[in-house]
Structure 1
Amino acid sequence: MIYIMSDIHGQYNRFKNLLHQLNLQNEDKLYILGDVVDRGPHPMKILQYMMKHQNIIHIIGNHEVMALPNLKLLVPEISKDFLQGLSPEEYQNFAQWTLTGGTDTIQDFRKLPIEERRQIVEYIESFRPYGKETINGQEYWLVHAGLDEFSETKALEEYTVDELVWTRIDYEIPYFEDIIVVSGHTPTQKILGNSNPGFIFRANNHIAIDCGAAKQSGRLAAICLDTGAEYYAEV
């Protein structure tokens, strides 16, 4: 079985709740479509769990893109003069990251010994830009956000990371007639015309699975591509 999850945002308890429901077997695969970090208290526990399981396939999200260069700076022990030592560009990037939820990741990361910090950085560096699966003759493209600078003739391999992690999809318009694109990034509560906000959204060859796990009223979601079954964790 192939399962998809996205936008965990440090919600370790919801993550473990959902894993318990999925009951993953060694032959199963779980794709996580990015945004494991930021906005929630325990991103490191989630990443360390993922690192131990080879059947969990990691796709990069915009929050990993923002976090990675800053986490590299935080690997050594941080002095009180840390911010003063940053270049103007590094300072701006660091400040922007903290404003978009990075503070929780910083706090969790700094609890780790230096060697474990290095392992986390190396692991995030290994995140893939996309995934692709064909199940029962149906092709699925698995990305964090969408396909920016879209063209029907453009192969998935031709998209840059930035084109895959930042865009907001117009879910009323399909990318393809024969390929289903599975994405996170945009909470289903924010999809215009969605009659069931906060749950997995399916329409026009889109499957949107960010159900706002970082929000108090949101939930973490997963879907099984083989069966179409949906799974939710709210506590």
Structure 2
Amino acid sequence: MTYLISDIHSDYKGFLNILHKISYNNQDMLILVGDIVDRGAEPLRLLKYVKRMVQSEDYNVMLLKGNHELFFQMYLQGTLSAGTWDRFGGQKTRQEVDELSQIEKHELQQFIKNLPIYTKLNSPIYGETIVIHSGIDIDYLVYNEDGFVDVEESIQRGVKENEYQFLISGDIHDCAAAIRRKLDKYIICGHVPTTNLNLDGSYRVYKNDSYMDIDTGNGHKANGGCLSCYCVETDQVVTV
């Protein structure tokens, strides 16, 4: 099976619980769709655990870069201030990072810097699919000769031009429906809690004909959010 989880936000125990609930094993593919750090209680414990999984030949685990991973990277590079990261929800992560040795900081910085932005898969329900944290940025759309948006080229262009702006963008939710209907691949993303998308204000996974959002608000548990895992092959969702 191929499982997707987004926006874990430092919830180490919740992550282990959901892996147990889906009976995850090393024959499965697990894609973490960004934002595993910030907001929650155990950011570095989760990050180091995921790093070991990603780098181990015993697991099929991929971590995609989200905006909160980018904040982590920028802080270590000296291009994001402590106060700004704190305002973005990174205070607990920053405090833990500040206690690390220079070697540990460098290793984590390089790990995060080299994370992929997106991956591709073939969904039995939605066909060719791009999995990415934030979706698309309409300022960088690339069109094919047939008039459809080349999603992959658009992502590459946006990241090359302005990675920060691309990863904080929520354009996929706000752009005209006519643009979304022209996407040449289905998109599965996180980034924006689904309570902002569902008409009933719920935190269930949001789906339409162009894209799916699987950020069910684990970074906002006090408001009713939860952690969800989406199975590509069955189109089913498990929550904790």
User: Aligned partners of 2:235 and 2:34: how far apart in 1?
Assistant: 21
Tell me if 1:68 matches 2:73: yes
1:187 aligned residue: 193
Q: Is the 8 A contact 1:41 1:108 kept in 2?
A: no
Query: 2:228, 2:237 within 8 Å by CA — same for their partners in 1?
Result: yes
User: 1:153 & 1:182 partners in 2: Cα distance?
Assistant: 16
Shift of 1:8: 1.0
The 5 Å alignment of 1:49-60 reads 49-54=49-54, 55-60=60-65
Preserved contact between residue 42 and residue 108 of structure 1 (Cα < 8 Å): no
**Superposed displacement of residue 177, structure 1:** 6.4
Of 147, 168, 173 in structure 2, the residue corresponding to residue 170 of structure 1 is: 173
Q: CA deviation at 1:114?
A: 4.2
Describe the shift of the 1:177–1:128 C-alpha distance in structure 2 as closer, same or farther (beyond 3 A). closer
Identify which of 190, 213, 236 aligns with 1:229.
236
CA drift at 1:113: 4.4
Aligned residue among 135, 138, 148 for 1:146: 135
The structure-2 alpha-carbon separation of the partners of 1:214 and 1:153, relative to structure 1 and needing over 3 Å to count, comes to closer
- Name the aligned partner's letter for residue 129 of structure 2: Y
Give the direction of change, closer, same or farther, for the CA distance of 1:69–1:231 in structure 2 (3 Å limit).
Answer: same
Distance 1:177 1:124, change over 3 A: closer
- Verify: 1:156 aligned to 2:152, yes or no: yes
Q: Post-superposition shift, 1:65?
A: 1.3
Residue 32 of structure 1: aligned partner: 32
Unaligned runs of 5+ in 1: 74-89
1:122 match: secondary structure: helix
Q: Which has the higher contact order (CA 8 A, sep 6+)?
A: 1
Structure 2 alignment gaps of length 5 or more: 55-59, 143-147
CA distance in structure 2 between the partners assigned to 1:129 and 1:145 by the alignment: 9
Q: Percent identity?
A: 27
Aligned CA distance change for structure 1 residues 134 and 126 (closer, same or farther; 3 Å)? same
Distance 1:95 1:118 in 2: 21
Q: Does the Cα contact within 8 Å between 1:10 and 1:36 map onto a contact in 2?
A: yes
| 1:80 match | none
CA distance in 1, matches of 2:239, 2:43: 19
Number of matched pairs: 215
Bigger proportion of residues as helix: 2
Q: Offset of 1:45 from its aligned partner? A: 1.2
CA contact (8 A) 2:67 2:168 kept: yes
Secondary structure class of the residue paired with 2:137: coil
Partner amino acid for 1:167?
Answer: S
Q: How far does residue 67 in structure 1 lie from its aligned partner after superposition? A: 1.7
